[in-house]
Amino acid sequence: MATPCDDIPDFELLRRMADAGGNFAEARHAWGCFYVRHYRFLLRVAMSDHRYTIGVEGVRDIVQQTFSKVFEGAKTFNHGEQCDASLQERKCRAWFLQIAENLIRDRFRNQPEISLLDDQEIERLPQTVGPDATDDPVPETKRLQLLRSGLALLSDVEQTILRATMFYWRPGEQHQRMPHGALLELSAQISKTPENIRQIRSRAITKLEKYVNENLDNEKAY
């Protein structure tokens, strides 16, 4: 059954939220519609990407905090832009996903960070999708497709570790780190020691790099 506000565009809902000072009841109703429309999407993405570092209840808490921030920050969103409903949805989701990511980072702010690499390990993944590819005839979209398909070939544990650690990826830095608390939570969730996690991550990146490069070579050969 359609909800009463299914025909109201996302930007209009945000406009009404932004006007909470003028009509609070309408603003809260608009927030409720926005929440129902996007809750499952945000929960699904956050569970996939972060449940192994902040736990299931942590994810649910982040989702609730995110929608609270949406209501508070609606007045800062450019809801006056003219675009169709599908683009409005994409823009709104990109916005509140960034809010969620900021909240997750805030959880570990000022915590000591733990290296994800052995001292002698050289980070390889940036070479696969890094700036040296600018003159490459293979489109970036193809590279991303290969990364996704290569990731799907990894084991569940390898995928989990890469998804959890890539959130803390810092482009251009050789020695990647993640918050101590996040690494400990990941360790407990998958029953692997931090050292095991480093080793599995290193092997997974090697596999992913090999898969992408081999397929890129095949693309260039044609």
CATH code of the domain containing 15 = 1.10.1740
Question: Do 125 and 213 form a contact (C-beta atoms < 8 A)?
Answer: no
Residue 1: predicted pLDDT: 38
Q: Are residues 69 and 93 in the same domain?
A: yes
For the chain, how many helices (H) and strands (E)? 8, 2
Cα angle 67-11-49, degrees, rounded to a multiple of 5 = 40
Residue 178 sits at φ, ψ, to 5 deg, of: -140, 160
Q: Are residues 148 and 192 in the same domain?
A: yes
Q: Are residues 99 and 141 in the same domain?
A: no
Question: Do 74 and 17 form a contact (C-beta atoms < 8 A)?
Answer: yes
74's tokens: 């609606």
**Final residue belonging to a domain, choices 57, 91, 107:** 107
Q: Are residues 117 and 216 in the same domain?
A: yes
Q: Are residues 60 and 101 in the same domain?
A: yes
**Tally of domains within the chain:** 2
The residue with tokens 């519609």 is 33
Write the CB contacts of 212 (distance below 8 Å, at least 6 apart in sequence): 128, 129, 143, 146, 147, 150
Consecutive H or E run containing 161: helix 156-166
Q: Are residues 142 and 80 in the same domain?
A: no
Residue 146: predicted pLDDT: 87
Amino acid at 129: V
Q: Are residues 86 and 26 in the same domain?
A: yes
4 lies in a domain? no
Residue 132: predicted pLDDT: 46
Instruction: Tell me the whole-structure pTM to 2 decimals.
Output: 0.73
**Final residue belonging to a domain, choices 53, 76, 107:** 107
d(CA 1, CA 203): 48
Q: Are residues 129 and 176 in the same domain?
A: yes
Q: Are residues 129 and 100 in the same domain?
A: no
Other CB atoms within a 10 A radius of the CB of residue 16 amount to 23
**Final residue belonging to a domain, choices 107, 142, 169:** 107
Domain of residue 88: give its range.
10-107
Q: Are residues 215 and 118 in the same domain?
A: yes
Q: Which residues of the chain have pLDDT under 70?
A: 1-4, 117-140, 172-175, 219-222
Residue 140: predicted pLDDT: 67
Residue 116: predicted pLDDT: 73
